[in-house]
């Protein structure tokens, strides 16, 4: 079956045509869920698009940045992004990315998430995703294949949500402050400083920021620092350098923030990322990207 069990190489020629062919196939194929693998080079950017199925986007290797009109979400290894059906989004690769996506029909089962979110991928879900891509795609499966896909669908609502979204406020004044912060993150930014810069009272600022992002400035700031830290940690930079570059007074303060946000230490995160890389390399086997990475596009 075309576009099914084959690995989709983003380094191939006629890339736009290949993407369009896959999206058209997804709109026509039957079955409650379809699992597809994709290999992307560092810096590759999938342009804005949407599909009628929801997508569970899982990066076995590399870090993925998903952008929508509602904000940005980072997807490191051992995590996945839930993108509801019909949501326009673009995807940028930070490092070589080995992606596994499950495309799910709306209302395939009760209780599927309604909004954008990053979730932690459990060992069970990881195994189900890896097994599901080996199955025939494009129909209702029976026997073992049907059991795998059915369990995968029912595991999606149970995946723990992670604070890796970075919504931007709609107010141009607040959005400009957020963009400047993302360009130069610091743990020392205060509500009073941001309120003064926006020409607002402290109370008006906090209410507007919470209403437009769903987060307090403190939580948003910590998530922005994580956005800056994760790709650098994934590249093997020392924890001390990353912490000090982000403006933390001490490494323990950075580690405390990291553990509070992700539930693990930076060393634990990097160890898990390395293990995921080794697993993915065994799965991908001899697959190698042959074309050079295209020009990086700056999103911020």
Tens digits of per-residue pLDDT, 4-62? 444 455 555 455 677 777 778 888 888 889 888 888 888 888 889 999 999 999 988 88
Measured CA to CA, the distance from residue 248 to residue 253 in angstroms comes to: 7
The pLDDT value recorded for residue 178 is 87
Contact between residue 79 and residue 162 where contact means Cβ atoms under 8 Å apart: yes
- Tell me the pTM: 0.68
Judge whether residue 281 has pLDDT over 60.
Answer: no
SS3 125: helix
Rounded average pLDDT over 233-244: 86
Say yes or no to pLDDT of 252 above 70.
yes
The whole-number pLDDT of residue 157 equals 96
Q: Which residue has the higher pLDDT, 169 or 155?
A: 155
- Describe the chain by its helix, strand, coil percentages, rounded to 5: 45, 20, 35
Q: Check whether 207 has a pLDDT greater than 50.
A: yes
CB crowding 262-297: b at 16 or more within 10 Å, else e:
beeebeebbeebeebbebbeeeeeeeebeeebeeee
Higher confidence at residue 147 or residue 77? 147
Among the listed ranges 115-124, 137-146, 240-249, which one has the minimum average pLDDT value?
137-146
Residue 174 class from Cβ within 10 Å (0-12 exposed, 13-18 middle, 19+ buried)?
A: buried
**Residue given tokens 């950017």 in the structure block:** 45
Residues 6 or more apart whose Cβ sits within 8 Å of residue 177: 194, 197, 198
Six-digit token string for 140: 């209702």
Position 204 confidence tier, pLDDT thresholds 50, 70, 90: very high
| pLDDT tens figures, 68-126 | 888 888 887 788 999 999 999 999 887 788 899 999 999 899 999 988 999 989 989 99
Least confident of 188-192, 227-231, 255-259: 227-231
């Amino acid at each position: 079956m075309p576009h099914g069990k084959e690995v989709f190489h983003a380094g191939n020629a006629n890339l736009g045509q290949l993407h369009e062919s896959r999206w058209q196939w997804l709109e026509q194929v039957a079955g409650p869920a379809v699992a597809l693998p994709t290999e992307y080079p560092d810096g590759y950017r999938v342009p804005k698009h949407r599909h009628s199925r929801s997508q569970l986007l899982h990066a076995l290797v590399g870090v993925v940045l998903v952008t929508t009109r509602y904000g940005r979400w980072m997807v490191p290894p051992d995590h996945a992004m839930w993108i509801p059906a019909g949501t326009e989004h673009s995807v940028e690769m930070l490092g070589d990315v080995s992606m596994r996506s499950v495309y799910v029909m709306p209302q395939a089962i009760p209780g599927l998430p309604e909004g954008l979110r990053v979730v932690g991928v459990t060992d069970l879900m990881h195994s189900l995703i890896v097994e599901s891509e080996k199955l025939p795609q494009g129909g209702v499966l029976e026997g073992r294949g049907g059991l795998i896909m059915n369990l995968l669908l029912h595991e999606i609502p149970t995946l723990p949500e992670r604070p890796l979204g970075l919504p931007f406020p709609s107010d141009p004044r607040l959005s400009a402050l957020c963009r400047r912060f993302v360009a130069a993150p610091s743990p020392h930014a205060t509500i009073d400083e941001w309120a003064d810069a926006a020409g607002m009272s402290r109370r008006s600022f906090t209410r507007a920021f919470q209403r437009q992002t769903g987060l307090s400035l403190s939580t948003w700031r910590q998530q922005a620092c994580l956005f800056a830290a994760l790709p650098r940690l994934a590249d093997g930079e020392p924890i001390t350098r990353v912490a000090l570059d982000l403006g933390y007074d001490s490494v323990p303060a950075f580690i405390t923030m990291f553990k509070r946000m992700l539930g693990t230490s930076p060393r634990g995160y990097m160890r898990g990322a390395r293990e995921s890389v080794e697993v993915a390399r065994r799965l991908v086997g001899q697959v190698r990207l042959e074309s050079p990475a295209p020009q990086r596009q700056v999103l911020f």
